A and B are shown apart, each in its own frame.
Chain A
């Protein structure tokens, strides 16, 4: 246990390097590559959620919104608007998710505390119903179909990424860059203010920080990470199911992050991997597998609020439960 803990702390000390090394080998560790890519994508989504919840102390129950906006933004650009560049598609997804975060964040941040969670959930449901009824653009209940499998344009080269391993490494590079970006955000003075808000909002206000603006910016960054995850998933699946925007996606993100450890750098990826492995194993033997996931999640909230990674690293970045 202590050797494991020591290892976890070493990794925690160099998270970016650890990410690049570990996930370079990851597809050869897990039994199937689909799951490897899913861990990257849902880990990224959970990472975005974690920036808001774990580091800023704002519980969003509506991250399906930004994941879904990213997926639809990318999907609609490629399938409906005839954009034929992967980069532009990703950009469209990111832009739409960021804009969504900007607008929804403005509304949700008008109320603090527990209201915030309820409002984020409500706005995500709003987007779900909008997507459901705007069938001309989103495909409605059938989902958005016909997203082309494009090659990746890198200067003069065109790389095919249809192969599952190639797609994994494409996602690996983008998620890795997002990890670098998150690390930069957290290490900046802005990141320090985020944690100050989490620990003691009144004191952050008293120190002269424009707390609402900082929260809003954190909300937008968080939405962008989630949006990138959504865009990547749209490219991976070549479909966007309308359930992307459903509250279940938000709930899954919350569960992944808390299982792994909110407020820890790797928690979201650990949580995503744990959740996906559990889902795969349990669904084979038990139709009602969500009962087990729900029970495990409830037990974590009650008895292990720091999550797997937070407990391993001894809560260096552990969320204070005050």
Chain B
């Protein structure tokens, strides 16, 4: 058995990974819940978040500016994708947006290789967060703590936005009964745009947040998007609480298997998914039959 402090450190590492999953899965789930679009390009947008971060950091020399602007740039790209490409596919099979975004992610990944080269880049955390923090029971990198705090703040903000604002109300109503929302005279097209923008911004945020730990490389998004799919299947598609719980759970599963049986780390994610499918096919927090 590893020592308690090693175990705790790994739990924290799993928590950090879980936060990245949560940011990605919540965006995917939000988009899916309202529009029944599975955005395969979510991973590519995550990757772009990290690259835009590297670019902005080089250009402005400020991590804080990059942290805010890079996700917005990704979100802007998301808006363009929704408005000019994905929107054409509403009313067709839900498979079609998935196929289209698959094609788009191929373009984005290869485009990044052309612009920034095939070799991965590094993204330095700001000097203020470079050291480690003594938590009393363990020492932990400051940047990772910062990542946890930012993610929690964003989640709280999102929760308030969805729960307390009029647009949030419309979004929730739209994912429950779009026909009724339209009958009330609300332009759902604009709401789709807003939600796609929010979801992709979150993907970009996850990308730049992950950058200082994992660097930026063109293929970084693909395995993440597949694992985020798993998070959504485990949590229950369309359930934001499910995305949070399952994201943290999968983060722990990866973190702890890395500690005990490193070879099984990637595999365990899928084993958890298979078990959930057997025991509770609609996911931990999913409603059976929702959006199928």
Interface string of B218-238 (1 = CB under 8 A from A): 000011001001101100010
Residue of A nearest to B228 (CB): A118
A297 to B175, CA, bound (A): 30
Residue of A nearest to B32 (CB): A114
A295 to B100, CA, bound (A): 10
Of the listed residues B95, B111, B277, B278, the one surrounded by the most CB atoms of chain A closer than 10 A to its CB is B95
CB distance from B288 to the nearest CB of A (A): 10
CB distance from A140 to the nearest CB of B (A): 11
**Stretch of A25-33, A92-100, A123-131, A166-174 contacting B (4+ beta carbons < 8 Å):** A123-131
CB distance from B83 to the nearest CB of A (A): 14
Contact between chains at A321 and B93 (CB < 8 Å) = yes
With a cutoff of 8 Å between Cβ atoms, the chain A residues found around residue B106 in the complex are 251, 290-291, 293-294, 297
Selected contact of A288 from candidates B100, B113, B237, B263, CB within 8 Å: B113
With a cutoff of 8 Å between Cβ atoms, the chain A residues found around residue B104 in the complex are 294, 298
Size range of the chain B interface in the assembly: 35 or more
Contact between chains at A288 and B267 (CB < 8 Å) = no
With a cutoff of 8 Å between Cβ atoms, the chain B residues found around residue A241 in the complex are none
A220 to B85, CA, bound (A): 35
A305 to B93, CA, bound (A): 11
Residue B266, interface by CB 8 Å: yes
Contact between chains at B103 and A297 (CB < 8 Å) = yes
Residue A221, interface by CB 8 Å: no
A136 to B222, CA, bound (A): 27
Contact between chains at A301 and B292 (CB < 8 Å) = no
Residues A109-130 near B (CB distance < 8 A): 110-115, 117-119, 121-123, 125-126, 129-130
Residue A87, interface by CB 8 Å: no
Selected contact of B93 from candidates A111, A255, A290, A322, CB within 8 Å: A322
A115 to B93, CA, bound (A): 13
A157 to B278, CA, bound (A): 50
With a cutoff of 8 Å between Cβ atoms, the chain B residues found around residue A295 in the complex are 103, 107
With a cutoff of 8 Å between Cβ atoms, the chain B residues found around residue A251 in the complex are 102, 106
Residue B70, interface by CB 8 Å: no
Residue B187, interface by CB 8 Å: no
Contact between chains at A114 and B103 (CB < 8 Å) = no
With a cutoff of 8 Å between Cβ atoms, the chain B residues found around residue A294 in the complex are 103-107, 110
With a cutoff of 8 Å between Cβ atoms, the chain B residues found around residue A254 in the complex are 99, 102
Residue A302, interface by CB 8 Å: yes
A61 to B233, CA, bound (A): 15
Residue B88, interface by CB 8 Å: yes
Residues B274-292 near A (CB distance < 8 A): 274, 277-278, 281, 291-292
Residue B124, interface by CB 8 Å: no
Residue A133, interface by CB 8 Å: yes
Interface string of B26-43 (1 = CB under 8 A from A): 000000100010100000
CB distance from B90 to the nearest CB of A (A): 12
With a cutoff of 8 Å between Cβ atoms, the chain A residues found around residue B237 in the complex are 115
Selected contact of B114 from candidates A59, A107, A288, CB within 8 Å: A288
CB distance from B210 to the nearest CB of A (A): 19
Contact between chains at B233 and A125 (CB < 8 Å) = no
A117 to B123, CA, bound (A): 34
Interface string of B257-280 (1 = CB under 8 A from A): 000000110110011011001100
Of the listed residues A111, A114, A258, A322, the one surrounded by the most CB atoms of chain B closer than 10 A to its CB is A114
Contact between chains at A301 and B38 (CB < 8 Å) = no
CB distance from B177 to the nearest CB of A (A): 18
With a cutoff of 8 Å between Cβ atoms, the chain A residues found around residue B232 in the complex are 118
Contact between chains at B226 and A125 (CB < 8 Å) = yes
Residue A247, interface by CB 8 Å: yes
| Contact A126/B103 with A114-B38, A321-B93 known, Cβ cut-off 8 Å | no
Residue B94, interface by CB 8 Å: yes
CB distance from B291 to the nearest CB of A (A): 7
Contact between chains at A122 and B233 (CB < 8 Å) = yes
Contact between chains at B229 and A121 (CB < 8 Å) = yes
CB distance from A179 to the nearest CB of B (A): 25
Residue B92, interface by CB 8 Å: yes
Residue of B nearest to A124 (CB): B226
With a cutoff of 8 Å between Cβ atoms, the chain A residues found around residue B93 in the complex are 321-322
Selected contact of B36 from candidates A114, A133, A258, CB within 8 Å: A114
CB distance from B292 to the nearest CB of A (A): 4
| Contact A305/B277 with A254-B102, A297-B103, A298-B103 known, Cβ cut-off 8 Å | no
Residue B98, interface by CB 8 Å: yes
With a cutoff of 8 Å between Cβ atoms, the chain B residues found around residue A290 in the complex are 106-107, 109-110
With a cutoff of 8 Å between Cβ atoms, the chain A residues found around residue B153 in the complex are none
With a cutoff of 8 Å between Cβ atoms, the chain B residues found around residue A255 in the complex are 103
A130 to B233, CA, bound (A): 21
With a cutoff of 8 Å between Cβ atoms, the chain B residues found around residue A122 in the complex are 226, 229-230, 233, 270, 273
Residue of A nearest to B101 (CB): A298
Residue of A nearest to B289 (CB): A112
| Contact A321/B107 with A110-B281, A115-B233 known, Cβ cut-off 8 Å | no
| Contact A288/B110 with A301-B100, A305-B96 known, Cβ cut-off 8 Å | yes
Contact between chains at B36 and A130 (CB < 8 Å) = no
Instruction: Pull 23 A–B residue pairs with CB atoms less than 8 Å apart, ordered by A.
Output: A61-B98, A107-B277, A110-B278, A110-B281, A112-B292, A114-B38, A115-B237, A117-B95, A117-B98, A121-B226, A121-B229, A122-B270, A126-B271, A130-B267, A247-B222, A287-B114, A288-B110, A291-B106, A294-B107, A298-B85, A301-B96, A305-B92, A305-B96
Residues on B facing A (Cβ under 8 Å): 32, 36, 38, 85, 88-89, 92-96, 98-100, 102-107, 109-111, 113-114, 222-223, 226, 229-230, 232-233, 237, 263-264, 266-267, 270-271, 273-274, 277-278, 281, 291-292
